[in-house]
Copies of this chain bind each other. A is one copy, B any other.
Amino acid sequence: MDKTTRLISGIFNREVRAIARAITEAENRTPEASVILKNVFPHTGHALILGITGAPGSGKSTLVDRLIEIYRKQGQLVAVLAIDPTSPFTGGAILGDRIRMQAHSLDPGTYIRSMATRGHLGGLSPATVDAAYILDAARFDVIIIETVGVGQDEVDIAKTADVTLVVLVPGMGDDIQTMKAGIMEIGDLFVINKADREGVLRMEQELHALLTLTTRSDGWEPKIIKTIALQNSGLAELYENINAYTAFLERSGQRKRRHAETMNQRLIDLLQEKLLAGVLNKTLQDGDLKRYVEQIIARERDPYSVVDEILKRIGL
């Protein structure tokens, strides 16, 4: 049995080291990753993918901690992919402090992994979706994908997750209308955390007003749940609402429809990634790209004609 085959059977046996290794391969976009993913993919589709997004300081991480506890008490296996914004200059993850989740690190039914978004493509790294497949094939029941901020990541998460929670805190200023416009449409459930803070009533009212204005094509009316994660308050209600939403997804046939959209997007993303890699590695010679760039800078050529020429070479 070769190394990759051992890794794959390690994933099916839910061995932490095999899983960690496989995710690293996926992050590095290695040929091994491709072999691993082809083998694990047929065994996916069972896990509940829970997307959680919110600004830094919204207490999102404590909330995730509490959700892990709840699911673990039900006997469910939980994996967390914590997505850190990447520094555009160093390429590394810049938050990275995941100390507070170490409480779960000794529990074999919980797997927590920090992942960096990659800068150049924007949005959720393709490795995140691959990591979710690996965890799904390892038979984790719940996979939580946690992202920070309001940006492309969050839009992508809504396309990948079965349920998307948006975490807000009272006292974010008078900018909720503009600031939250982008995430109003991606949230299936809205959590007002730190609900013992001043301004909770006003925030709830504003949020409610905004939600009333938005009609979803699937007919779901997003709920607002108030929590104080640090005091374990409101978590049972949140859990029930997650279940209510997943029940709705099944009942209405929306889960199937969303799954089809997700897979369509996934296929296109992967195609785009591999096409570029293929052309850079096979069609272009060493130094081609550099020479093109020099010609473009000198305005001897333009990028549009260069790309046309490259496409012609592969018959496109």
Contacts and interface: CB of A to CB of B under 8 A. Distances in A.
A95 interface: yes
A122 B151 CA distance: 9
A271 B267 contact: no
Interface stretch (A11-19, A174-182, A222-230): A174-182
Contacts of A267: 289, 292-293, 296, 303, 306-307
Interface in A161-212: 171-175, 178-179, 181-182, 185-186
Interface string A278-290: 1110110000010
Given A57-B175, A316-B283, A271 B304 contact: no
Q: Which bracket fits the contact residues of A?
A: 35 or more
A271 B276 contact: yes
B152 A150 contact: no
Most buried by B among A119, A159, A182, A266: A182
A289 B264 contact: yes
Interface stretch (A1-9, A35-43, A69-77, A105-113): A35-43
B293 A264 contact: yes
Given A38-B305, A314-B314, A158 B88 contact: yes
A311 B275 contact: yes
Contacts of A87: 181-182, 185
A20 to B, nearest CB: 20
30 contacts: A34-B304, A37-B302, A38-B304, A38-B305, A45-B299, A55-B179, A57-B179, A87-B181, A87-B182, A88-B158, A88-B182, A120-B265, A121-B122, A123-B152, A148-B178, A149-B179, A150-B150, A150-B151, A151-B152, A264-B289, A267-B289, A267-B292, A267-B306, A268-B280, A270-B303, A271-B279, A274-B316, A275-B276, A275-B316, A282-B316
